[in-house]
Homo-oligomer: A and B are copies of this chain.
Amino acid sequence: MFFEGSEKKIELVMCNNAVSLRSLGTDFWANIVAQCEAEILSSISNEKCDAYLLSESSLFVWDHHFLMLTCGTTTLVNSLNAFLDHFESQFEQIQSIIFQRKNEYQSHLQKTSFEQDINQLQKRLSGVAFQLGNLDSHHNYIYHLDQAYTPHQADKTFELLMYHIDGEAADYLRTEQQCAAKIRTLLNLEKLLPDFVINDYVFEPFGYSMNAIAGDKYATMHITPQEQSSYVSFETNLDINQHQVNIFTHLVQLLNPCSFDIISFNAEVHIESQHSLMNQVEQPLSCGYTMRFKEYMRQQKRSLASQITL
């Protein structure tokens, strides 16, 4: 029953006079997705963005940048390599590449390690890499091009990664025959993301993925509800500090995780919760972003061990 919900992530920016990435077409992107052993389930589009829901997470394509998140045992680095193969003769048009791997429950079940991924990338790129957070606790890995880039002032990213969700909402998310409409209501998505077009999917026997877009803004949420290894991620470029509802505070209260991480790029995040802030890392990156990592935990009640099936 174990499934690694924790994601790998690529964010890549082309210069403004490059070919539009959207014009490359669905077949091109379906091939990029296939390289990491995922597939496209459905998509939504608006004037700025094509948002693909994948069998393992999400792909967002704008004219001059794309964002791809994949979970499970996908090999996202292969998708990045396939993209770079296509642009081999136009590397000068690539302004920024960021490759992340989030805190994994069972890293030994992955096909490659972060070190292997970035050693492969470093053969064709010139990047630097960091670990944010302690190795024995939650940590996040990032590799990025060691190349100056000036993000737009509104270019901020907010990631909330929740582990071991608990309570009524978590219980519903673990039931079979759950439905998307009920999950949207439970999460209060229409209120949290007014004006967004939402595309979502319920997996068998459970598990939920959601993409939402409004102009050039996106939000994406992925739920792996499995007891013992549940994981819920929410990510957006919407400035949640300026938003009418504090989305992160709402989700933490609703899903009551045992621990959660907040990762942000060019933004500080404030959250109200009973959890203790155990660690915080702040790292200015040579690619123009300041990355922040915060690890929160709550003290747990005394419990019994989990028996392992033999």
A134 interfacial by beta-carbon distance below 8 Å:
yes
The closest CB in chain B to the CB of A300 belongs to B279
Bound Cα distance from A244 to B110, whole angstroms = 48
Q: In the bound complex, do residue A131 and residue B229 qualify as a contact, i.e. CB atoms below 8 Å apart?
A: no
Give A7 Cβ to nearest chain B Cβ, in Å.
Answer: 14
A299 interfacial by beta-carbon distance below 8 Å:
yes
A154 interfacial by beta-carbon distance below 8 Å:
no
Q: In the bound complex, do residue A299 and residue B282 qualify as a contact, i.e. CB atoms below 8 Å apart?
A: no
Q: In the bound complex, do residue A134 and residue B164 qualify as a contact, i.e. CB atoms below 8 Å apart?
A: yes
Q: CB-CB < 8 A to A147: which residues of B?
A: none
Q: In the bound complex, do residue A308 and residue B136 qualify as a contact, i.e. CB atoms below 8 Å apart?
A: no
Q: Which of B278, B308, B310 contacts A297 (CB 8 A)?
A: B278
Q: Among residues 122 to 146 in chain A, which have CB atoms less than 8 Å away from a CB atom of chain B?
A: 122, 127-132, 134-138, 141-142
A15 interfacial by beta-carbon distance below 8 Å:
no
Q: Which of B136, B277, B281, B299 contacts A304 (CB 8 A)?
A: B281
How many residues does chain A have at the interface if contact means C-beta atoms less than 8 Å apart?
Answer: 52
Q: A127-B310, A134-B258 are in contact. Are A282 and B297 (CB under 8 A)?
A: no
Q: Which of B107, B276, B303, B310 contacts A281 (CB 8 A)?
A: B303
A249 interfacial by beta-carbon distance below 8 Å:
no
Scoring A residues 107 to 120 as 1 if CB is less than 8 Å from chain B, else 0, what string do you get?
11110010100110
Q: A105-B135, A259-B137 are in contact. Are A310 and B164 (CB under 8 A)?
A: no
Give A201 Cβ to nearest chain B Cβ, in Å.
Answer: 25
Q: A276-B299, A299-B277 are in contact. Are A310 and B129 (CB under 8 A)?
A: yes
Give A6 Cβ to nearest chain B Cβ, in Å.
Answer: 9
Q: In the bound complex, do residue B259 and residue A281 qualify as a contact, i.e. CB atoms below 8 Å apart?
A: no
Q: In the bound complex, do residue A136 and residue B163 qualify as a contact, i.e. CB atoms below 8 Å apart?
A: yes
Q: CB-CB < 8 A to A177: which residues of B?
A: none
Bound Cα distance from A135 to B306, whole angstroms = 10
Q: CB-CB < 8 A to A185: which residues of B?
A: none
Bound Cα distance from A109 to B135, whole angstroms = 13
A106 interfacial by beta-carbon distance below 8 Å:
yes
Q: In the bound complex, do residue B308 and residue A131 qualify as a contact, i.e. CB atoms below 8 Å apart?
A: yes
A253 interfacial by beta-carbon distance below 8 Å:
no
Q: In the bound complex, do residue B119 and residue A108 qualify as a contact, i.e. CB atoms below 8 Å apart?
A: no
The closest CB in chain B to the CB of A138 belongs to B136
Q: CB-CB < 8 A to A279: which residues of B?
A: 299-300, 303
Q: In the bound complex, do residue A306 and residue B131 qualify as a contact, i.e. CB atoms below 8 Å apart?
A: yes
Chain A interface residues (CB < 8 Å from chain B): 103, 105-110, 113, 115, 118-119, 122, 127-132, 134-138, 141-142, 163-164, 228-229, 258-259, 276-283, 291, 293, 297, 299-300, 302-308, 310
Would you give 18 A-B contacts (Cβ < 8 Å), ordered by A? A105-B136, A106-B107, A109-B113, A127-B310, A134-B258, A135-B229, A136-B163, A136-B164, A136-B229, A136-B258, A137-B137, A278-B300, A279-B300, A280-B300, A281-B303, A282-B303, A283-B304, A283-B305
